[in-house]
Structure 1
Amino acid sequence: MTEHHLLNSPTDGITAVHFSPNNQSQFLIASSWDCGVR
């Protein structure tokens, strides 16, 4: 298993995480209670 670290992680509790694998790139999106999406 590979471990990754987010450079700009949420500053508050995480409310949702979504992963979108793609042939060209991969996206990991995390939303939090501070109204941010990273």
Structure 2
Amino acid sequence: MAEDINVTASPDDKSSAPTSVTSSMITPSTTHKGLELP
């Protein structure tokens, strides 16, 4: 069971990792720019 979960979490984590990083990088970037402007 532990191996089955690891295999399923491996591809899911890899696909979710880049999406989460990109969203996190864009969110602070936009907020920083918006907060710095005003």
**Does the TM-score normalized on the shorter chain lie above 0.5?**
no
Task: Please indicate the TM-score interval, normalised by the length of the shorter structure.
Answer: under 0.3
Q: TM-score under structure 1 normalisation? A: 0.18
TM-score (norm. length: structure 2): 0.18
Q: Which has the higher contact order (CA 8 A, sep 6+)?
A: 1
Greater strand content: 1
